[in-house]
Copies of this chain bind each other. A is one copy, B any other.
Amino acid sequence: MRVLGDPVRWQIVTLLARETLCTTHLVAETGARQTNLSNHLKVLRDAGVVDTEPCGRFTYYSLRPEAIEALAGSFAELAATARATGAAGRKRSCP
C-alpha cells in the first residue's frame, strides 16, 4: 500500500500494466535517472508487485496481476462495509 504511494512507482506500475518493459524503456518513458529507477524497482520487487525476467544483459519487468487483484479485492470489501455502515447508520454514541 505504502509502496504505491510514490508517484514515480505508480507511473511504473501503469506502464507495466500495458506492456512488459526493461529498465532502458522505463528510463526513456519516465525521464528519471537509471539509479533512481533501479531503487524504485527494487522496492516494487521486494513488495512482490513486479516480476523480473533476465534476457541477456537486459532485465524485463512485468506486473504481477495477483498483487493488484488482491488490492482491488480489499478495496472493494472496504467499500462494501462502508456502504453498509452508512446505510445502517451505525455510529458510536458521543462519549
- Interface residues of A, Cβ cutoff 8 Å to B: 1-2, 4-7, 10, 13-14, 16-22, 24-25, 55-56, 58, 60, 62-65, 68-69, 71-72, 75-76, 78-79, 81-83, 85-86, 89-92, 94-95
Contact = CB atoms under 8 A, between A and B. Distances in A.
A90 B20 contact: yes
B22 A94 contact: yes
Contact of A85 (B18, B82, B94): B18
6 contacts: A5-B5, A20-B85, A22-B94, A25-B95, A62-B86, A65-B86
Nearest to A7: B2
Given A17-B85, A18-B85, A75 B72 contact: yes
